[in-house]
Amino acid sequence: MCGRTSLFAPAAELRERFDATVPDDYRPRYNVAPSEPVEVVTNEAPDRIDRFRWGLLPEWADADDEGFINARSETAAEKPAFEAAWESRPCLVLSSGFYDWKPVERGPKQPYRFHVEGTVAFAMAGLWERRETDAGTLDTVTVLTTEPNDVVEPIHHRMPVILPRDEEETWLTAGPDERESLCRPYPGDDLDAYPVSTAVNDPSNDSPSIIEPDESEQSGLGEFAD
């Protein structure tokens, strides 16, 4: 699953990384919650980074609904909410790292941050939808999920579809069948996870301190040790 994300790379580095223009109102975010804008690159405008509301709203949904923040890649083509977007509206959802939560024996769930080492940002596979409302055009997006890899599995039973860099263009340009083959657990060995403070639980906490490792006893830093 992907229930919280971030994007805090400098605009110039984002522009270079994705070879796309950056919105004038872009600002670094460390704790992005559903229903908030996320940065995307769509198949419609691959040379531009846009900002869409996180939570895909199909045409038949009420415009005030929160929408679908995630979609199971294994069934998206068959679900009425996603089938049209799956067919023709793929996008990249840009991220510096996402968060998920692991149950613990006592107290609140322990949040973890996941990020790809050695890059300013990576791309998660997404689908987008456009509709007209009384307030104007509304663009929304969902993040596709898949089975977890070895890094995510100890923490959560699902993970976002993270695209290796050399597959990002293919995701945007290929047909549905080829895109389906890209929806798999992230194959790279550069995905890292570490516990962070429960301050991330509150979306109003949005500062660099959010991504600092939680070194308290509760964090269980030794869980992944041999």
The C-alpha torsion from 148 through 150 and 153 to 154, rounded to 10°, is -170
Closest CA to 120 of 11, 12, 38, 13: 13
Residue 51 has pLDDT above 60, yes or no: yes
Q: Residue 36 gets which letter from DSSP? A: S
Amino acid identity at 223 = E
Confidence of residue 224 (pLDDT cuts 50, 70, 90): very low
Residue 225 has pLDDT above 50, yes or no: no
Amino acid identity at 180 = E
* pTM for the structure as a whole: 0.93
d(CA 126, CA 71): 9
From residue 218, give the alpha-carbon distance in Å to each of 10, 99, 106, 196, 209: 33, 17, 9, 10, 18
pLDDT single digits (tens) 105-117: 888 899 999 999 9
pLDDT single digits (tens) 115-134: 999 999 999 999 999 988 88
- How high is the pLDDT of residue 222? 41
